Amino acid sequence: MAGVQVGKRIIGADSPVTVGWENIGRVEGGPIKQFVFTYFQPAMLLLAIGFWYYAPNWLAVASTAIAIRLGWTVLLLALEWVNPRYQSWQLTWKEFATDAFYVALGMTFLRMVDAYIGDGVMVAAIQDAFDWEKFDWFTGLPLLVQAVLISMIFDFGQYWMHRGMHNWYPLWLTHAPHHYITQLNVQKGAVGNPVELFLIGLGIGGFFDFLPRAFLLAGAIGMTVGVYQHINVRFNTPRWWRFIFNTTEHHSVHHSQDYEATRSNYSGTWIIWDRIFGTCVDGEAELLGMEGGRRMHIGETMVFPFREGWRDAKAWLAKRFGGGAAVPAAAQLEPAE
Amino acid sequence: MSGAAVSLRQERPIVKGLKLPLIDNIWRVRGAVPIDPSLSADQAFARVDPLLRTPGTTIVAEGGALVYSKHNPAAQDKLATFTRGRMWIEQAGAGAVLRFDLFSHALLLCFLAPLLFLGFAQLAVTLNAWEAAGSEASAKAEKKDEKKPPVAKKLNPVDEFLGAPAPEDPSKKKDKNKDKDKGMHSPDEGYYLAGFFFVVYLVGRWLEPFLVRRRLRAALAAPPAAAVPAG
């Protein structure tokens, strides 16, 4: 495969990747379908912002957000059914049950762990240690500005954590299982080793004081923008949207079987971070995964970073001190370097 | 699994002499689909063969039966849910049927998943009790908070103009203690998810055998068009 030159890199040399917006697929169907799948994303973003902006205080609470999120997930699953991007990504019962397991793990076990060692605890500890106050003046900013700031600050952290995961081997070990997914579906964002899910959830937003409503608004932006990273729906995404925001097309490039392509599009919600830091590749891919598309089951996902880490540490020690020939690490497991 | 296909005998008691005639319905699916009487056994198997010939699948012919075993099948493998299986042909009246006896790790694990989430709920309850026992520390922290009474925050004039509801006055909040009583962790998610996975199991236990029957029927009805072994 020849691949396509993007900046200094060749994208798509190992596995097919479509580069350039003019080459990606379009919604097929009548004018109503075209209309719905062109304006669905912006309409839902506006609707969510409008709701959280004006909802009375008794309604603007976390439990409402959870209920909306649930209904939203069901709606997106229905969209996957109606207008899939690729038939080869169709959700099956087994995939659904597997994805739901990871989501459920995040809602129960991981949340409990987070309460003790998550970013909230770390931020509180740092504030205590340095006797820092929160940045109170933030609460005087307009709500939408606060919301966009929360969202962008969090995503900035996620961008660098994610980029770090693709560039530093110990972090890569935690992130690699997520790259074994072979198709994108609504809940696939939760698939991965719990250590990674913990790391990617770390944020520095806790240093700032925001109005609760601004947090809910930021959540709404995440819910109606970041959610499309992992989805099997064909949209005609407006140009302005895909310039600012991450899309399923961008993220499919990131998950491609092509090595160079995986080293792009690191952000969660704001692809503008990738544009700023020079890692954005506009395009899409259908063939996803690692090791030629080997599926990783739940058991292996849970042990993978520890198993590989142990193997490599042993090999390194043997090489460093044993003098013997070290066992070379599998080529596919090399960090993206 | 050791790579070679594992045979699924009709009866494989866990303890000798103990039969579990019903309980294995949780993870086993048995059934039959009719075969065109004009088809020979070999022809029928040849038609089913492409369905099985997927990466990671071992197929062995065992005394007139087709036994397969899958190691970590791909997401789009048509039989991904059933990681082991046995198919054979039986005479039924004037015609014949293809009988199948399939084993599913996925169904079994999904059936057991509610136990795990009930376990997490129990862990939340236990941790809450443990946190409550060490409440002295939290009482101290509360005192620290009391030094500075929370002040009601004001909206930016832009938002006031646009009509967004003003933030609540935190000093008027009375239900703060209510939340405290509930503890740091909520076991509710664990309970809901246990119920959720039970429903997912029931759907799967109905849907997956239905799909297997449909796929086998379709495979048997189609002529063995270009039965090229893939992968």
Chain segment A140-195, per-residue pLDDT in tens: 889 999 899 989 998 998 999 999 999 999 999 999 999 999 999 999 999 999 99
The better pLDDT of the pair A211, A267 is held by A267
Percent of chain B, pLDDT > 70?
A: 76
The nearest alpha carbon in chain B to A138 belongs to B156
Interface of A with B in 41-60 (CB under 8 A): 53-57, 60
List CB contacts of B64: < 8 A, sequence separation 6 or more. Answer: B41, B88, B89
- A244 or B11: which carries more pLDDT confidence? A244
Structural domain contains residue A325:
no
Return the closest-CA partner of residue B159 out of A64, A211, A42, A135: A211
- Model pLDDT, residue B182: 67
B200 in A contact zone (CB under 8 Å): yes
Residue with tokens 């296909």: B5
Phi, psi of B80 (to 5 degrees): -55, -35
Q: Which two tokens stand for residue A160?
A: 């660098």
Chain B nearest C-alpha distance from A52 (Å): 9
Q: Is the pLDDT of residue A327 over 60?
A: no
Q: Which residues of B touch A88 (CB under 8 A)?
A: 76
B209 in contact with A, Cβ within 8 Å: no
Tokens of A59: 């309604």
* Structure token pair of residue A290: 């690692």
Predicted pLDDT at B7: 46
Q: Tell me what pLDDT residue B181 has.
A: 58
Checking if the pLDDT of A326 tops 70, the result is no
Mean pLDDT for B39-58 is 87
Q: Taking residues B152-163, report their average pLDDT.
A: 84
Q: What is the mean pLDDT of chain A?
A: 88
Q: Which residues on A lie below 8 Å from B80 (Cβ)?
A: 92, 94
- The DSSP secondary-structure symbol of B19 reads -
Which has more pLDDT, A90 or A335? Answer: A90
Q: Would A96 be classed as within a structural domain? A: yes
Tell me how far CA of residue A188 lies from CA of A81, A117, A191, A212, in angstroms.
16, 24, 5, 28
Is the pLDDT score of B18 beyond 90?
no
What is the identity of the amino acid at A128?
D
Residue A319 CA to residue B168 CA, distance in Å, equals 63
Candidates A81, A98, A108: best to mutate against B (most CBs of B within 10 A) is A108
What's the number of domains chain A is made of?
A: 1
Helices A143-165 and A31-54, packing angle to 10 deg: 110
Tokens, residue B206: 């109905």
Sequence-ordered list of residues with C-beta below 8 angstroms from that of A76, at least 6 positions apart, any chain? A186, A227, A231, A233
Q: How far is B96 from chain A (nearest CA, A)?
A: 30
CA dihedral A233, A96, A255, A278 (to 10 degrees): 70
Residue type, A28: E
Residue of B144, B172, B193 to mutate, interface with A, max A Cβ within 10 Å: B193
Task: Tell me whether A104 touches chain B (CB under 8 Å).
Answer: yes
| B101 within 8 A of B10, measured Cβ to Cβ | yes
Instruction: Judge contact between B117 and A104, C-beta under 8 A.
Output: yes
- Measured CA to CA, the distance from residue A37 to residue A27 in angstroms comes to 7
For chain B, what is the mean pLDDT? 81
Does residue A81 form part of some domain?
A: yes
Q: Tell me, what's the pLDDT at A103?
A: 94
pTM: 0.86
Q: Which chain B residues are Cβ-neighbours of A141 within 8 angstroms?
A: 156
Choices 1.10.150, 2.30.30, 3.40.50, 3.30.310: CATH for B23-109+199-221: 3.30.310
Query: Are A101 and B109 spatial neighbours (Cβ–Cβ below 8 Å)?
Result: no
Print the domain residue range for A105. 4-296
Given a cut of 80, whether residue B225 has pLDDT beyond it is no
The answer as to whether A174 is a domain residue is yes
Instruction: Identify whether the C-beta of residue B33 lies closer than 8 Å to the C-beta of residue B211.
Output: no
Interchain pair A97, B200: CB under 8 A: yes
Number of CB atoms found within 10 A of residue B182's CB: 11
Q: Does residue A106 lie in a domain region?
A: yes
Separation CA A266–CA A52 (nearest Å): 28
Give the residues across from B61 on adjacent strands.
Answer: B66
